[in-house]
Structure 1
Amino acid sequence: MIRNKNWFITYILIAINIIMYLISAFLSGSILEMDARVLVYLGANFAPLIDMGEYYRFITCAFLHGGIMHIALNMYALYAIGPLIEKTYGKSKFTLIYFISAIIASFFSYKFSIGVSMGASGAIFGLLGAALVLSIRMRKVIGEDFKRSIISVILVNVIIGLSISNIDNFAHLGGLLGGTLVSMVVFKKRETY
């Protein structure tokens, strides 16, 4: 993928995630696995603290990761899908889709999951929802193959989520729904692509 200054929001989000991971690693004393207490301290999604009014956790948890593979896979996914959505929807709409998806993902996790939850995957599922909306609204221009590819990526990730423990599938579902709904509202068909 060619680097482009027009995709700088994606790169800023990646940078924030990496910085937060390095802070978490420093405080945890390990680069490979994060201490859950450190993640809670830094703002992970933890229902008892949200119940006490710490609603900022709906955002902060989206910038924390539990281990090196967790952040590596999420940042790869953000790097892969982010530029497309940022270029297609524009910077402000991309940012709106990302953050609303993260918040809805966190809310679903808070309501339906137990334990400590964190990660950018809910927001990334929101970007997949935005790509799905794009594939449906622009199918005459981009064809059916793109839609099939997006659907297959979503399905593969759902299957992975259901087959591996410690994956917050409710957050993924919330992010996907949030990103799809927001994208349906903000999508505007351009004359040229």
Structure 2
Amino acid sequence: MSRRKDRKRRRDGWVSSTPRPENPPHPAVLALSEKHGPPPIDLRQAELLDGFGYNKGEYAKRPIAHNMPWHVSREDLDYYRSVFAFMCDEPGSLLFYLYPVALEFERDPTLEASDGFLYCLDMSYEELRPLLREAEDAAAFAEGLNWILNVRGPDWAPFYQCPNLIPLLTGEHAEQVRLQAQRWR
């Protein structure tokens, strides 16, 4: 067996044996992400789409196996931080990454991937709506957005440029975001 195949076999074995976290924060958001996994386009595939015609894989060297949302690591999100726009053709991929992005953002609000992720959710909102027909899915999506909003603290600027997402925001910060977004227009 080649070294590459052996590494892949070991990585896939580790990923498949990783158990679901017990008592996760925002279990409805996790359930929504699980429902859309594994993603049709993962972070590495999106990176390859980004460089279509130019990138022969030299920028997508980090191997990943995202079968479940808890398989996504902070390192994966840092390495492939600006590729979410290349998932817009497969909106289920964006829903898959909602939980990992929100969770890692809660752990460290300096996560660079979060802003681009929000913009892509906003751009793809019309394509996402059919996937959110069930009331619990729509509620979980809104919960994930509010989770990110509440972690942001006073820096809500990324939401100002997301007019499709603003109506889904609730809570103490939502009205401030709406007022500021109106000033920007």
- So what's the TM-score if we normalise by structure 1? 0.31
Higher RCO (CA < 8 A, seq sep 6+): 1
Instruction: Determine which structure has the larger helix proportion and give its number.
Output: 1
